[in-house]
């Protein structure tokens, strides 16, 4: 019985030490989240390229993918994300300012597989529906509660012959705030 009590006490002490170590390490790890790294690398609506380089704000270690990201604030208006060109496959993910993925889509839901997406809040969507003069073409509308966050576009590179076309696609990505009435 004494051995059992001794083992329990040692287990509790070890758990306490591990708990304290995690608490002390937490501040070091929280400043390295995706939102913080992108915030340090670029301003709002500025597109940055992401790849496997060590100095990239967000590394994409998969050699078959490249990416681009931009921060946004829907307080400035709608976010219009678009790019030129056609590539085999792309995905767009919306993250909040806690780096949590809130929405994802890919080229299969877009007309003509082109990247032309508008991100807006429910209130902005209602205003847009009530404005008959608003003409945003064939854009894909994504309604979200995320007011501040970032968009991550990843593109598939099937082989090295596609790399220039994929890089051109990612370099042509524009994230623009569109003011609403």
Q: Are residues 70 and 113 in the same domain?
A: yes
Same domain, 22 and 43: no
Same domain, 18 and 88: no
168: domain CATH number is 2.60.40
pLDDT, tens digit, for every residue of 90-108? 999 999 988 899 999 999 9
pTM equals 0.79
Q: Are residues 87 and 47 in the same domain?
A: yes
Do 64 and 2 belong together in one domain?
A: no
86-90, long-range: CB < 8 A, 24+ apart: 86/113, 86/114, 86/169, 87/155, 87/156, 87/162, 87/165, 87/166, 87/169, 88/156, 88/158, 88/162, 89/155, 89/156, 90/115, 90/153, 90/154, 90/155, 90/156, 90/169
Number of domains in the chain: 2
- Say what the pLDDT of residue 142 is: 93
- When pLDDT is cut at 50, 70 and 90, the band that residue 71 belongs to is very high
State whether 93 and 170 are in the same domain. yes
Statement: residue 16 has pLDDT above 60: yes
Parent domain of 11: 1-30
pLDDT tens digit sequence for 126-158: 888 887 666 667 888 999 999 999 999 999 999
């Amino acid at each position: 019985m004494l051995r059992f009590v001794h083992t329990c006490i040692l287990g509790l002490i070890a758990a306490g030490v591990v708990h304290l170590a995690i608490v002390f390490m937490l501040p070091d790890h929280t400043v390295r989240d995706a939102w913080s790294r992108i915030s340090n690398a670029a301003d709002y609506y500025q597109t940055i390229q992401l790849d496997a380089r060590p100095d990239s704000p967000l590394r994409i270690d998969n050699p078959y993918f490249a990416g681009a990201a931009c921060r946004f604030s829907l307080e400035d208006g709608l976010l219009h994300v678009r790019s030129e060109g056609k590539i085999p496959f792309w995905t767009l993910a919306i993250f909040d300012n806690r780096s949590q993925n809130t929405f994802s889509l890919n080229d299969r839901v877009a007309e003509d597989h082109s990247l032309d997406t508008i991100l807006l809040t429910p209130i902005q969507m209602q205003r847009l529906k009530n404005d008959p003069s608003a003409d945003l073409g064939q854009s894909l509308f994504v309604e979200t509660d995320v007011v501040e966050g970032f968009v991550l576009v990843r593109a598939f590179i099937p082989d090295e012959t596609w790399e220039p076309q994929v890089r051109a696609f990612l370099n042509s990505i524009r994230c623009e705030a569109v003011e609403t009435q």
